[in-house]
Structure formats: C-alpha cells, structure tokens
Structure 1
Amino acid sequence: MNIQLWTYAPLTLIMALTLTGCPSDDGGGDDMEETEETVGETEESTDTDTDIDTTETESTDTDTDVDTTETESTDTSEETDTTEETDTTEETETTGGALSFEADVYPIIMASCSCHLGGSPGQLAMPDAAAAYDNLVGVTSSQEGDLARVEAGDPDASYFYLKVTGSQGNGTDDMPPSGGLISTADQMMIADWITEGANP
C-alpha cells in the first residue's frame, strides 16, 4: 500500500502542476481578445494623430502661400518706387545743366566788349563777372529807359540782347561798335541764358 502511494504521488504532483500552468480556455481567450482590442485602439489613435498632423501641415502650407503673395506685392511696390527715383534723378540733371552768366556769358563779354572791362561807356562797367551781372540784370538801360538791360526770362525785352544782335532800333551803336556783331552762336547763348532766368 505504501509502495503504491509513493508510486502515484509524483504522477499526481506532475498532473497538478500541468493543470495549474495552463490557462483555462475561457480566461486565455479573453486575455487575447483584450490584447488585440488594445492594439487596435492604439493603431486607430496613431492614425488619428497622423491625420491631425497632416492637416496641420496642410494649414502651414496654406499660410506659406499667403506669405509668398504678400512678399510679391511688396516687391511690386519697391519696383514702382525705384522708377520714381529714376525720374527725379533725370529732372535734377536737367536743372543742373542751366546756363550761368559767369561760366557761359561773361567769357563772350570778355572777348568782344573790352571797352566795358576797363571803363564804363554808357554807364555800364563790367570789370569782372560779379560786377557785370549786378550792372546788367534788372537794371534800367541808360539809353532806353523803357527797357531793362537784362529782363530775366524775356530776351526781346532785354536791351543788352537787342544791342548785341543789332536790333535795338534807336539809332545807337551796335555792340560791339566795331568789328561786326558777335557770332550767331554767341547771340543764341545769351538769348538762352536770359530765357532760362538769367542765372548768375
């Protein structure tokens, strides 16, 4: 009897351990289903997050397009400003090209009116550019009281211009009185200088 108990005891123990280590069919199945559901939910959650990230990325792309449009508009304005600056530069260059008495007219007087450089015939002394300018522009002629020697802006009302072109018409000498009138080019230079405002 004792021998039989010792014989069956190990077998009984092994069977008990085997049954204890195996999960029941119902319990094991439930655990597997719960695990699969958890994995599925995790994948769905991941997919949802990915969709959200994609949407945010698309929104960012849209913002980038808007910013690009604004930048292009700014560039167009800058180009317009640049064109206006170019026009201003051209106007400045034109103004800077105006004739002046000292640079353009007085050299003609020095070459053709030597009597007025060292004296004052007709009460007109022109020893240097500054004195000549002061005695010509806006000063009434001593020979023709109705006219200024130089009327800025109007050559035909300037007695100085009429004298150097021989068109004064009052019987007085032309200027210069000998050697003939100054050249046509010099006459036009004086006329243009007066027309532009008789600048110093």
Structure 2
Amino acid sequence: MKPILSFVSSLFLLLAFNGCGGGETSTLSTGGTEGGGGSSSALPATFSEVQSKIFVSSCAFSQCHGQGSRQGGLNLDPAEGDVYAEIVGVPSTEVPDLNRIEPGSPQESYLYLKLIDDPAITGALMPLTGGPLDADRLESIRSWIESGAQND
C-alpha cells in the first residue's frame, strides 16, 4: 500500500507543477530552425499576433492567466475579457511603479521584464514551466511594445 501511495503522491506533485506551462513549444518563426536559432524571422509585431500566438499558447491557462485563475490579477485569455485593456498602461500588481506594458518602452514594461528575467522583477521568470520563450517570441513582444503597443 505504501508504494502505491508514494506513486500517487509523486504523480500529483508532477501534475501540479506542470500546470502553468503547457501548450505549444515550437518556435513562431516562418523559417529556419526550431528554437529560435538559424535564419528565422519572428512573427509580425502586432498585438493580435502576440495575443494569439504567444499569450494564448503559453500563458492563458486555467492555473495561470486565464479561465478563472488570473494569477497576479492578470488575464491573458481573450475569452475571459479584454486582454489589451488589462495590460497596456496598467500598473503591475508586483511592482506598481511599472506598467504591465508601457507603449514604446520594453525596458519599462513589467510583463516583458518577467519574460526576460530582468533583475527588476519580483517573483519568477515567466512562463513558470515549459521553459522560457524563445528568442523569436521575445523579439515579437519587444518589437510590438517598442513600436507603441498598438491594439491592432
């Protein structure tokens, strides 16, 4: 009985810690190699592309930032509300002096800083599981913010 209980406990812990990082793990490049290397090019730096190809596949899960969970008060699931209105020009809950997204300034955008593991953040690098975002995804987010974080 003890080995079965130990196995079930281990399985539960494994599933609990993997809850926030599922989803797509392939790069968003239009060519080149997997994982952001080679001569790949990032997806267009638009909110609609960042939302549909990055936030939905890497962040908007029921245990993280969508479907009723809103960790840190942040929703990234378009089915749960207006994501743009929740992230652009809105102070972060962890470091209120920084907006989640500051148009024109990736280095003053808390959400971007969480994705690159900047020392200015509080808490862990995001996403929690599944590994950090690849260079193409990070570049798409950075470019979208730097170009004014328009709602397109």
Q: TM-score, normalised by structure 1?
A: 0.48
**Residue of 134, 151, 156 corresponding to 2:85:** 134
Q: Give 3-state SS (helix, strand or coil) of 2:86's partner.
A: helix
**Cα distance between partner residues in 2 of 1:140 and 1:170:** 13
Per the alignment, residue 105 of structure 1 pairs with 50
Per the alignment, residue 161 of structure 1 pairs with 112
1:143 Cα deviation after fit: 0.3
**Residue of 133, 144, 151 corresponding to 1:193:** 144
Aligned residue pairs total 102
1:173 Cα deviation after fit: 1.1
Give the direction of change, closer, same or farther, for the CA distance of 1:171–1:100 in structure 2 (3 Å limit). closer
Per the alignment, residue 22 of structure 2 pairs with none
1:171 Cα deviation after fit: 4.2
The gaps in structure 1 that reach 5 residues or longer are 1-97
**Cα distance between partner residues in 1 of 2:150 and 2:119:** 23
The CA RMSD over aligned residues, in Å, is 1.7
1:187 Cα deviation after fit: 0.3
Greater share of helix residues, 1 or 2?
Answer: 1
The residue type paired with residue 184 of structure 1 is A
Q: Give 3-state SS (helix, strand or coil) of 1:181's partner.
A: coil
Write out aligned runs for 1:59-70 (5 A): none
Per the alignment, residue 24 of structure 2 pairs with none
The gaps in structure 2 that reach 5 residues or longer are 1-43
Write out aligned runs for 1:30-179 (5 A): 99-102=45-48, 104-106=49-51, 107-113=53-59, 114=61, 115-118=64-67, 119-128=69-78, 131-179=82-130
**Cα distance between partner residues in 2 of 1:105 and 1:181:** 15
* Dislocated runs of 4+, deviation >6 Å: none
**Cα distance between partner residues in 2 of 1:141 and 1:171:** 10
Q: TM-score, normalised by structure 2?
A: 0.62
Which of 1 and 2 has higher RCO (CA within 8 Å, sep 6+)? 2
